[in-house]
Amino acid sequence: MSDAQPIPLHPPLPRMVQPDPPRYDLWPEAMRSAWRLSGALVPCGPGLRGLGWPETPRVRLTAIASWLRGGRIATHLTAAWVWGAARRPGDPLQVSLRPGHRRPTAADPGLRIYESRGAWAECRDFGGLAVTTPVRTALDLLHDPAGFGLRETVACRLLLRAVEGGGAAVSRRIEQHRRPYGRLARARLAALQYRDVGLPLSRGQPPLMR
């Protein structure tokens, strides 16, 4: 009896690799302005996207590429916007630095740079641009002493629905990985779960985050 495996009649199709959107921030200003006037480029956060490119995490991240130079990572509310959990990316944009990169000597009024240890280990890369994962983004927002208003509350609710295990998984992370303002994070998460009683927090990704 032969041990040879039958050859499938229909071999599996290769996975489609999503192309990276064009870097419009690298175009000459005159060309970019002409395309904007024609309607071919439309606003996407503080940046631009092509009219034919739907708003996805990859497209949103590329739209703010010029703000992510120098080893910057999109974090906090800006990361929530990249994932589709916030309507706007915040002003200023919120970022942290990859390992080995120093904070610039001159302050940029369009950026708020966080000292986020371990953020680089919990990032997704899109064409060389980085954003913190949904679970890391939720944790950063919950621990941030700067404030937790309506935008952050809504963002965390949506992010929790995209995290495997939902609020319970985020709660375990808060307890296992000691960070400053852990008590604040626990209180904020408890308030979120109290308001969402009866709603499963791990129903999968909301449509905007796909």
Residues 147-156: contacts with CB within 8 Å, 24+ apart?
148/188, 151/77, 151/86, 151/87, 151/88, 151/90, 152/77, 152/80, 153/192, 154/85, 154/86, 155/77, 155/80, 155/85, 155/86, 156/80, 156/85, 156/188, 156/189, 156/192
Query: Any idea where the domains of the chain sit in the sequence?
Result: 38-196
Nearest Cα residue to 128 out of 79, 91, 74, 81: 74
Q: Each residue's pLDDT tens digit in the chain (210 positions)?
A: 455 555 445 455 555 567 889 999 999 999 999 999 999 999 999 999 999 999 999 999 999 999 999 899 999 999 999 999 999 999 999 999 987 777 776 678 889 998 877 777 899 999 999 999 999 999 999 999 988 999 999 999 999 998 999 999 999 999 988 889 999 999 999 999 876 644 444 444 444 454
